[in-house]
Amino acid sequence: MSFKQRVEEASKAHQSSIVLALDFPYCKPQEREILLARAQTILDMVSPYVCAVKINHHLTLPLGTFGGVQALVKQAHEKGLLAIMDCKVNDIGATNQVIAEYYYEAGFDALIANPFIGWEEGLKPVFDVAQRLQRGVILLGYMSHKGASEGYGQKVCDPQTGEIIPQYFAFARKAIAWKADGVVVGATAPEKIREIYSVLGEEVPIYSPGVGAQGGAAHVAVQAGARYLIVGREIVQAEDPAEEAKKLSQNRD
């Protein structure tokens, strides 16, 4: 079963399209056991109200991929959730292949990659590993921060048609051509979600970060075409993370 199918099943089972982003501020070395315990507690609390968990460098750097992070991935799986590694793969193909091998070995069901680096000797090795192991690859389409317009929003010339189009539009086309399992588009840019959805349709689901803390609105992102909402600080830093996750899962439309 493909990653797209598995995350859809998890979404139906949990009646939620929320992906929990376990993002925490920097902590000192002596506090890292506390950091792991906090991440485990929050994951346990919100697991009934989310369909997947996304882990970034916020945890892989202090806890280690095959240490605390692998334990969190195992915990997510035990709760019926999928695990996404937000490593934003962005190197040459040989390096990307090694990155993918390690993260998939740690148990991640999918990873996020940057289409800027291209296909040949770029992301092709990642997709090859993912296909062999039946894992997923999610591409960046348009990020949620203000500076995204400088890269993802720049105008480019389509080499096949000569058409001048936004970079994010070109990335959406690549997601179709490369058979990606998802595309990340910030909830802070609903107009970009709408445009990218016009290319992807229902073939490639949109994952939308930036809800809450960055100013994105869940219902606006969903109406524009987002299938999954990636939510971090709005849940993790809430007084009651479980209640916040439950509220978001019920009021996304």
Catalytic residue annotation: 88
C-alpha dist (Å) from residue 21 to 25, 42, 56, 172 = 13, 11, 8, 23
Q: How many CB atoms lie within 10 A of CB 44?
A: 14
* One-letter amino acid of 202: E
- Residue 53 bridge partners (DSSP): 20, 83
Asked if 115 contacts 123 with a C-beta cutoff of 8 angstroms, the reply is yes
Give the separation between CA 209 and CA 115, rounded to whole angstroms.
Answer: 18
The secondary structure element, H or E, covering residue 67 is none
Give the strand pairing for 18-21 and 82-89: unpaired
* One-letter amino acid of 186: G
Q: Is 107 left (phi over 0), alpha (psi -120 to 50) or beta?
A: left
Q: CB burial class (10 A; 0-12, 13-18, 19+) of residue 109?
A: buried
The secondary structure element, H or E, covering residue 253 is none
